[in-house]
Amino acid sequence: MKKKSIGQYVVQDVYFHEAKKLGFRARSAFKLIEIQDTFGIIQPNMKVLDIASAPGSFLQVIAKIVGPEGLVLGVDLQKIKSLGRPNVKLLQWDIFDAPKIAEFCAANGVEQFDLVTSDIAPNTTGMKGVDQYRSIELNIEILKFADIWLKKGGNIVLKVFVGEDIQELISPVKLRYTTLQRIKPKACRDRSFEEYFVCLGKK
């Protein structure tokens, strides 16, 4: 993941420096940590799929909590550098290539996951409305993916660019999950329209 920049200025706020200090690959780690502190969704021994993992800071957080008896699979279009942990398996591929993902899960002995986390982001155009709508479309595809790969009662975390069409995502979430919790972690930049949807209890 490239550093976000405003003109020539690279954003290096407190989370950027804290991530470096603690050995996290990206500031996003703090977003997942806040989600975990609030909802406690990651538990020891779980099988977790992390969608859009590169460079791997969500993976670092998840792998530590699920522990050596748990398993985390990470998929991203970009290469994810090895975490050097036997409980983390990585694939550089498109999450929407169903046969390839099925092959990857089968190779790691997974039929369904206890938890899916997605930090997927569209290639941003700079046009707010377009980026927000693309984010909704991606998340609807992720929901359909989880219809197959997430176990009943399981939870999913979605990164969402919130805009005026957000109801188009809320409705399919509510159809599939008993509870929808929305959170904007402190590590999200104030001006960003990014939020996380924590969808609990797959029906």
Ligand X SMILES: C[S@@+](CC[C@H](N)C(=O)[O-])C[C@H]1O[C@@H](n2cnc3c(N)ncnc32)[C@H](O)[C@@H]1O
How far apart are alpha carbons 52 and 95 in whole angstroms?
8
Among 24-32, 102-110, 167-175, 181-189, the segment contacting ligand X (CB under 6 A)? 24-32
159 classed as catalytic: yes
Rounded distance between C-alpha atoms, residue 101 and residue 19, angstroms: 30
Give the one residue of 19, 56, 83, 149 binding ligand X; rule: CB under 6 A: 56
170: its two tokens:
């809320």
184-199 in b/e form (b: 16+ CB < 10 A) is ebebbeeeebbbbbbb
Told to check if 192 binds ligand X by CB under 6 A, we report no
Could you tell me how far CA 124 lies from the centroid of its own chain? 17
Q: Is 105 in the site for ligand X (CB under 6 A)?
A: no
Does 113 bind ligand X (CB under 6 A)? Our answer is: no
Q: Does residue 180 belong to the site contacting ligand X (CB under 6 A)?
A: no
From the CB of 178, what's the least distance to ligand X, in Å? 25
User: Could you list the residues that contact ligand X (CB under 6 A)?
Assistant: 1, 25-26, 28, 52-58, 75-78, 94-96, 119-121
